[in-house]
Structure 1
C-alpha cells in the first residue's frame, strides 16, 4: 500500500492492490486456524469443545476485521488527512 501511494496511486487503487495480494493469504491462515480450533469439537471434555467453538468464531471475526474494517478505516484516515493537508507519519525526516 505504501509503495503504491508513494508512487502516486490514489488511496483506493493502492488499497485494492494490497488487499488483492493479502486476502488469499489471510483466508488460508484463518481457515487452517479455524479448522485446528474446531478439531476440539471431538473432545470428550465440554469446556474444551466450547473453547474450540469460541476460538474458531474469534478467528472468523478477526478475518472480517482485517479484510473489511481495517482497510476501510485506513482509507477514511487517508482521506481525512488529505482534506486537512496533514503530513503522514514518517513522511518527512525528523530534526
Structure 2
C-alpha cells in the first residue's frame, strides 16, 4: 500500500526527504471517510504535505508550484492532524 511505501521513504537514512501526495479529494473528505479498509488515515500519517482538490481547467495556472489550478491547496499534513483542521502552507 501507499502508506507503507511512504513510511519506507521517510525511514531512508542519509537524506532529509519529505513525502508529498497529490489527490483530487480534499483533506476534509479524506479525514471524514477514513476507515480501516481504504487506508486514507494511514497514508496521511506518513505524509508531510498534501496537494488536495480536483484539477479544474477553468482555474488552471502555470504560475502555481506543485498545483495545476487555483482551487487546490498545499497542506501541511502533520500540523493538520495535530490541529484537527487543514493547515494550508502560505506561501507554499
So what's the TM-score if we normalise by structure 1? 0.30
Higher Rg of the two aligned structures: 1
TM-score (norm 2): 0.30
Write 1 or 2 for the structure with the bigger share of strand: 2
